[in-house]
Chain A
Amino acid sequence: MDDFATRLTAIVGSKHAITDPGELRTYECDGLAGFRVRPRVVVLPLTTEEVSACVKVARAAGVPIVPRGAGTGLSGGALPVEGCLVIGLSRMKDILEIDLPNQRMRVGPGVINLDISKRLAADGYYYAPDPSSQSVCSIGGNVAENSGGAHCLKYGFTVNHVLGITMVLADGAIVEIGGTVDPLGYDLTGVVVGSEGLLGIVTEVTVRLLRRPQATRTIFATFPSTDEAGAAVSAIIAVGIVPAAIEMMDQLAIEAIVASTHVDWPLDAGAALLIDVDGITAEVEHTADIVIDLVKTAGAIEIRTPRDEAERALMWKGRKGAFAAMGRISPNYYVQDGVIPRSAISTVLREIARLGTEAGLRVANVFHAGDGNLHPLVLYDGRIPGEEAKAEHVGGEILKICVRHGGSITGEHGVGHDKAVYMGDLFTDDDLETQHYVRCAFDPTRSFNPGKVFPTPRLCGDRPGVYAPSSAELAGTAGRG
C-alpha cells in the first residue's frame, strides 16, 4: 500500500479504504455502465470530519476527487477519472433530525430517497422529488444531479426541496450553506444543487417535507398513437389543470413493461398516459372528471382508474420500472434524457422515430410528458459489431433535435461525463465561461470531478484564457478540466 492509501486508511479505517483491484471494480462506473475507469483508492467515510480529512490528504497529494452516492446516476457523474480518489458517501445514511413543526428533516447524503417518505408515512408527510430510482438512489446524489421524477410537474425538483446543506470544500473546510428562511447573500444552496459534484462534497442535507395531499386520483388511458396522447396532454394543461404527473409510454415501452411487471396493459395500443391529479378531495374529483373527458375527446381507446391503492401502486411500478424492463425486449439499450417544449412532443417523437428507422434501430419512449422531459431508449444488440456506436449516434442526434426545438440536453440525469460534449450545442463559450466562474469560486484547483460537465478544459487563472498550470499539473499528478 502506498503512502497516499496509508494516510487515507488512517482516517477511515482499513475496512473502508479500498485499494484491492478486485474490490475497486465495483466503483469503476455508475449507472452509465458503458464507461469504466478504475480509481486509485476508494474511501467510505462515516462523518463530515472524515470527509474533510480525506479531501485534505488528496489535495496535498494533488489527486483529483470524485464524489459518489449510490452509483445509480445515468450520465457518468460518478465515473472515476484516471488516478483519482473516489469518496463514497453510502455509509453516511443517518437521519440526523426530524423537525415536523418546521416541516424539515436533516439527513446524511447516503440516506435513500424513498426512506425519507417511508419514515414519515405515519405522520402524513413525505419528500416530494421521486426519481424512478428512488428506492435505491441517495439524497446526496439527488442533490448533485438536481433529480426530478414523475411528480415534479406540480411539485418541482430537488432544488425546490433542499433548504440547506453542509459541505466540504476543496481545501477541506466544512461550511454550512442556507438552512434558514431567505438566507442572506447569494443563493449558494440553489447553485450547489445540480452542480454534479464539481463544487464540493455535500455531507448533510436539510430537506423540506410536504403534507400528503388529501386525495390522489390516477388515470390510465391508451391511445392509437403518441399523437393523440400528446394532444390529450396539451388539452389538460390548456384548461388550467396542473396534474401531479403525466407520464407517456409508447407501444414499445408498454410491451417491455407488460413483459417485466405483468400489468395487464393492452399490447396493441400505440401509446398510453399515466396521470395523477392530487390535492383537495372535492377539487381532485372535479379535475379528474375533466381529465377523463379531455382524454376521451383526444381519442382515447380505453380509460382505466385503479380500483384500489394496490392497483394504483402496480401501475406506477410499471412506469417506474420501465428502463429496466427494456432488458425484456432488447439485449442492450441506451437511455437518453432530453427536454423539449411540451407543445413540440408529437413533432419531436416523429423525428426520433425517423432517426431510429434510418439507423435500423428501435426506439422506445417513456417520459414525463407534462414537462416535456423525454426519455428515448435506443434499443440495440451489443453483440452485433457497430450497433452500440449506432445507438450512441442516434442518442446524440436526439439531443440535437431537443436543442433545435428550444429544449435542453438533460432534464434530470445530468451532464456528467456523457453529455459534456453536447454542452456547446446548448451554451456559447461565454455562457460556459460564466458558469465556470462559479466552479472557480468554490474549487479553484478543480480537484472535484474534473472532466465532467464542461466540454473543454478551463483553468481558474486570474486572467481567463491564460494558461497557468497548477503545481499538481506540473508534477503530472492531475489533469486539466
Chain B
Amino acid sequence: MIASPHRPKSIDELAHTVAAIGAAGDACALVGGATEMGLGNSAARPLQEIQTTAIGRIIEYAPSDQTITVEAGITHAALQAEVRKNGQFLALDAAHPESASIGGLIAVNSWGRRRHKYGTIKDLIVGVGIVRADGTRARGGGKVVKNVAGFDLPKLMVGSLGTLGAIAEATFRLHPLPQIERAVGFKCSDHRRIQEIVVELIGHALEPTSIEVLDEINPLLLVRFEGFERGVAEQVDAAFAIARTYGVAIDELDATAIGLADAAHVRARSGAIRLQITHLSSAYPKVMNGIVRPLLPALDRFRAVALPTIAAVFVAADGTTAASRTAILEARAAIEAAGGSLVIHAQPPELEVEAWGTPPPAFALMRALKERFDPQGTFNPGRFVGGL
C-alpha cells in the first residue's frame, strides 16, 4: 500500500482514480472499513489503496418497496440506522457494523448466523454498480426485487474480493424487523446428538433465525427464533419438547445478551488467526470430531462456532503454535477430500498458508472472467482464488 491513499468523494471521482491507476499500469485495492483485510493472499504487485469511506450516501430508499440503494462506502450501521426508522433491516450480520462498509461486505461475501433464515448477500442484493478497470461505470440487476433482465452481475460481484471491478453502489432487498426474538440453548457435548436435535428442529418445520453451536469445550446448541410473538412462543415450546425427548438440558437465554459470541464475530472480529471450514451438512459430527477437534489444540486460545445447517465452522485463535501450520494443512487436506474447503480469513505473516486451497474444477472459467473484466490485473492482482 502506498503511504497516501486515494480518497475519492464520489463515484465519478472513484472512476477517474481507477482509470488513472489503470492507465499508469498500476494496481489498486478498494478499502472500506478495513475489517476483513486478512482475507486472501498477498498481492502479486504493490497496490494503491482507494478508500471508499467518503462515498457513503444513501442514493434511494423506498420503504414501501423495501429496497435501498447505497454507495459502497456506507457503513453497515449507518444503513441499518436509516431503515430501522421504518421498522426494516438488512438481514445481514456484520462483526464491525460501525466500520464495515457495504462494499467490503459484498466483496468478501460476509455473513453470520442469520444466514439460516435469510441466506447470504447473494440472496439480498438485487442490483450493483461497478467501476470497471478502464474507469467505465456499469450497472447490473436493478432496483426491484424481481428482475431477470441480463446477466446477474450483482451475484458475480459477491465474494469476488473486488477482483473484477470496483464495487461502487448496490441495491438490496430489506426485511421487516421482527416483533420479538427469543433464544434457547441446548446443553449437549455430543456432536452426533446435536445433529439429531437439529434434524428434529427441521423435521418439525420450525423456522429458526439461526442455529449455532458455540464453545467447543462445553458445546451449547444455540437456537434463535424471531417473528410475531405467538409463532415464536410456539417454537420455543417445541424446542423444549424436543430437548425433553432427547434428555438434554435446555434453557431460555437472553437473546440480546449473547450477541458477541456469534458466527459473524468469530469469522471477522477476534483473533490473529481466523478460518472457515465448509462441509457437507450430513457430515457435521464427523467434521467436528475428526477435523475441527484435532485442529484446535494446535492453536493458541481458540474459539469455534459451528453452523450445522449451513454446513460451516468458523475457528478463531489468539495465536499460533509450532504445530499450527501442519495442523491447518492437514485439516484442509481432509476437508477437501470430503468435498469441503478451508479458507483462511486472517493469519500472522509467518504462518504462510495459502488462503483459499485447491481451486475448483471450473477455475478456467474464472480465469477467463478475470481476463475479460480486468485484462491488466488492475484490481487486487494475485489475492483471490488460484492467484486471480
Closest chain B residue to A169, Cβ basis: B365
When chains A and B are docked, how far (Å) is the Cα of A453 from the Cα of B312?
37
Min CB distance B108 to A, Å, is 11
Using known A-B contacts A152-B146, A238-B64, determine if residue A187 contacts B151 with beta carbons closer than 8 Å: no
Residue with the highest number of chain A CB atoms closer than 10 Å, among B148, B175, B369: B148
In the complex, A145 has a CB within 8 A of chain B: yes
Which of A252-260, A313-321, A378-386, A426-434 is near enough to bind chain B? A426-434
Q: Contact: A434 with B148, CB < 8 Å? A: no
Q: Contact: A343 with B138, CB < 8 Å? A: no
Q: Contact: B138 with A102, CB < 8 Å? A: no
Task: List chain A residues, Cβ under 8 A from B203.
Answer: 124, 211
Q: Contact: A181 with B146, CB < 8 Å? A: no
Q: Contact: A441 with B371, CB < 8 Å? A: yes
In the complex, B50 has a CB within 8 A of chain A: no
Residue with the highest number of chain B CB atoms closer than 10 Å, among A102, A284, A431: A431
Using known A-B contacts A182-B109, A186-B366, A435-B140, determine if residue A426 contacts B149 with beta carbons closer than 8 Å: yes
Min CB distance B223 to A, Å, is 14
Q: Contact: B202 with A282, CB < 8 Å? A: no
Q: Contact: B67 with A411, CB < 8 Å? A: no
Min CB distance B180 to A, Å, is 12
In the complex, besides A191-B153, A280-B207, A280-B227, 11 extra interface pairs with C-beta distance below 8 angstroms are A180-B280, A181-B340, A182-B341, A191-B155, A280-B206, A286-B231, A339-B142, A340-B144, A437-B372, A438-B156, A439-B151
Q: Contact: A240 with B176, CB < 8 Å? A: yes
Q: Contact: B146 with A185, CB < 8 Å? A: no
The total number of A-B Cβ pairs within 8 Å is: 262
Q: Which of A193, A213, A412 meets B152, CB within 8 Å?
A: A193
Q: Contact: A181 with B151, CB < 8 Å? A: no
In the complex, A16 has a CB within 8 A of chain B: no
Min CB distance B265 to A, Å, is 18
Q: Contact: A102 with B156, CB < 8 Å? A: no
What does the 1/0 interface line of A133-157 toward B look like (CB < 8 Å)? 0000000000001101000100011
Closest chain B residue to A101, Cβ basis: B282
Min CB distance A405 to B, Å, is 9
What does the 1/0 interface line of B60-79 toward A look like (CB < 8 Å)? 00101111000000000000
Closest chain A residue to B145, Cβ basis: A371
Q: Contact: B123 with A339, CB < 8 Å? A: no
Chain B interface bracket (under 10, 10 to 19, 20 to 34, 35 or more) = 35 or more
Q: Which of A283, A284, A411 meets B148, CB within 8 Å?
A: A411
Task: List chain B residues, Cβ under 8 A from A160.
Answer: 119, 123
* Chain A residue total in the interface (Cβ 8 A): 89
Q: Contact: A283 with B159, CB < 8 Å? A: no
Q: Contact: B143 with A190, CB < 8 Å? A: no
Q: Contact: B365 with A181, CB < 8 Å? A: no
Q: Contact: A282 with B234, CB < 8 Å? A: yes
Residue with the highest number of chain A CB atoms closer than 10 Å, among B144, B153, B366: B144
Q: Contact: A453 with B150, CB < 8 Å? A: yes
Q: Contact: A181 with B149, CB < 8 Å? A: no
In the complex, B310 has a CB within 8 A of chain A: yes
When chains A and B are docked, how far (Å) is the Cα of A239 from the Cα of B140?
31
When chains A and B are docked, how far (Å) is the Cα of A64 from the Cα of B387?
34
Residues of A within 8 A of B (CB): 99, 101-103, 124, 145-146, 148, 152, 156-157, 159-160, 169, 175-177, 180-188, 190-191, 193-195, 211-214, 234, 237-242, 279-287, 339-343, 368, 371-373, 406-415, 419, 423, 426-428, 430-435, 437-442, 453, 462
Q: Which 10 pairs show the lowest CB-CB distances between chains A and B?
A: A283-B231, A190-B155, A240-B176, A101-B282, A441-B368, A434-B138, A282-B234, A437-B372, A408-B147, A181-B278
When chains A and B are docked, how far (Å) is the Cα of A238 from the Cα of B86?
9
Q: Contact: B362 with A175, CB < 8 Å? A: yes
Closest chain B residue to A368, Cβ basis: B146
When chains A and B are docked, how far (Å) is the Cα of A360 from the Cα of B233?
56
Q: Contact: A341 with B281, CB < 8 Å? A: no
Q: Contact: A191 with B152, CB < 8 Å? A: yes
Min CB distance B132 to A, Å, is 6
Min CB distance B146 to A, Å, is 4
When chains A and B are docked, how far (Å) is the Cα of A436 from the Cα of B236?
50
When chains A and B are docked, how far (Å) is the Cα of A283 from the Cα of B180?
12
Task: List chain B residues, Cβ under 8 A from A187.
Answer: 122, 155-156, 158-160
Which B79-134 residues have a C-beta within 8 angstroms of A? 87, 109, 119, 122-123, 130, 132
Q: Which of A185, A234, A241, A286 meets B360, CB within 8 Å?
A: A185
Q: Which of A145, A188, A195, A286 meets B228, CB within 8 Å?
A: A286
Q: Contact: A341 with B62, CB < 8 Å? A: yes
Q: Which of A176, A283, A373 meets B227, CB within 8 Å?
A: A283
When chains A and B are docked, how far (Å) is the Cα of A413 from the Cα of B231?
36
Q: Contact: B149 with A282, CB < 8 Å? A: no
Q: Contact: B356 with A184, CB < 8 Å? A: yes
When chains A and B are docked, how far (Å) is the Cα of A81 from the Cα of B4?
55
In the complex, B28 has a CB within 8 A of chain A: no
Min CB distance A198 to B, Å, is 8
Task: List chain A residues, Cβ under 8 A from B276.
Answer: 182
Closest chain B residue to A442, Cβ basis: B365
Q: Contact: A211 with B369, CB < 8 Å? A: no
Task: List chain A residues, Cβ under 8 A from B231.
Answer: 279-280, 282-284, 286
